[in-house]
Structure 1
């Protein structure tokens, strides 16, 4: 697992005196052989600029089935990703050129901004990834751009339709409980967009953000998850809609050429 570093000028987290990777301090030991293998592999590539690890593993918040998320910044024009098992750990590796990552972050891609802002740079040969990380951190702390008004109206209208469909179903039916679960997640993401909070693919993360921002609203969603009751789902969703102006029954868009 040793790393030859003569050709690598490291700007971020530097290897230790033995030339080995400096692991994120909170990372569990079970992830380290897999991360070291990817580190060695990428540092040996002449086209590799930087390597970044992000997610629950470097933060020390991994669950038993958590994977290891790694981004590699390279020269060139190709982007690719792979999932593989290394030492019993599932590694999700995404590799792309610097300009690709930069453009995605400038466009406001929430996953990439989160990854570069909160992740750990393991090496950076040119310093360009360090600059990109600082930009992502600034964007992350500013929060996402406010969506267009049409987005809010469309989402209010669609969520309102889900509430009305659910109200027409038998509360004890399987269909009602299925729709209730989907509707609650839509309402939770709509709340986050309304509050200019970065979206996250894991509902548990969005729920923690809701608990920190609006405990009374969080109590309503917790009541749903404790009971799976469509009535609790409607109560939570209506509370979210009320913050955005209530249910919306009429919606239209401007004509556009097709």
Structure 2
């Protein structure tokens, strides 16, 4: 599968009055010109079987600088991306095989699962993309795959090693503060995965999930970000690890074959 990227100059496009798009109800008007441009272009291509708009824009959660995310599905073998600005809005387009997206979703990819589950299908010539969207919605409601015992042990061991490295550094050093920030983010990702939450790629979403589920742990996170103190990072990470058995200093895995 080949991958290509393309940067296109800023375009100024007037909103189309007779477009065949049914715009997502919650989408702000500023996103419409960019969506029309992509819709018309992809609809004219015979290789494109479906078009999905996803992300914060169709959900009505966009911020002033949010971009517009669109995914075009094909039966081909190539994958490519393009970014361009239309009437002041950055439009991110991904084009690739339907099987590529299906494979990511079946593997539990959080970004793709959420994109198809919460996105808006703009057109679907074969019905396959709509079926994949329904499957994604079911997977999204069920939550991400549960972490197995070995995966939990590996993550405990990884966090323990970072904790040990951090505790061996001078408390007020730049290196300690940088590592503390990395440690807290990894611990937060681990907590979200253990709780079977989606959207683990977005720190803002992870923080909201933590605040809604565990006020005591959220307070420790807030204490770290108020001070960026390595000691607070250690306290937060140890609190996360307490829920899964604490620090893990030794790890042994079974032999695994190397692909290829």
Q: TM-score, normalised by structure 2?
A: 0.88
| 1:228 paired to 2:200 | no
**How many residues are paired up?**
245
- The match for 1:6 is none
Structure 1 range deviating more: 100-109 or 35-44: 100-109
Per the TM alignment, residue 240 of structure 1 is displaced from its structure 2 partner at its CA by: 0.2
Alignment of 1:89-104 (within 5 A): 89-104=89-104
- The match for 1:47 is 47
| Structure 1, unaligned runs of 5 or more | 4-15
Structure 1 range deviating more: 183-192 or 166-175: 166-175
Q: Contact (CA 8 Å) 1:50, 1:121: kept in 2 or not?
A: yes
Instruction: Work out the CA distance in 1 between the residues paired with 2:198 and 2:68.
Output: 21
Alignment of 1:1-258 (within 5 A): 18-256=18-256
Instruction: Work out the CA distance in 2 between the residues paired with 1:210 and 1:170.
Output: 29
Q: Contact (CA 8 Å) 1:117, 1:140: kept in 2 or not?
A: yes
Instruction: Work out the CA distance in 2 between the residues paired with 1:199 and 1:49.
Output: 27
Instruction: Work out the CA distance in 2 between the residues paired with 1:181 and 1:150.
Output: 26
Instruction: Work out the CA distance in 2 between the residues paired with 1:215 and 1:51.
Output: 40
Give 3-state SS (helix, strand or coil) of 1:111's partner.
helix
Per the TM alignment, residue 76 of structure 1 is displaced from its structure 2 partner at its CA by: 2.1
Q: TM-score, normalised by structure 1?
A: 0.88
Q: Relative to structure 1, is the Cα distance of residues 237 and 104 closer, same or farther in structure 2, using a 3 angstrom cutoff?
A: same
C-alpha RMSD of the superposition = 1.9
Instruction: Work out the CA distance in 1 between the residues paired with 2:240 and 2:87.
Output: 44
Q: Contact (CA 8 Å) 1:102, 1:132: kept in 2 or not?
A: yes
Q: Contact (CA 8 Å) 2:15, 2:33: kept in 1 or not?
A: no
Per the TM alignment, residue 199 of structure 1 is displaced from its structure 2 partner at its CA by: 4.4
Per the TM alignment, residue 95 of structure 1 is displaced from its structure 2 partner at its CA by: 1.0
Q: Contact (CA 8 Å) 2:114, 2:199: kept in 1 or not?
A: no
Give 3-state SS (helix, strand or coil) of 1:90's partner.
strand
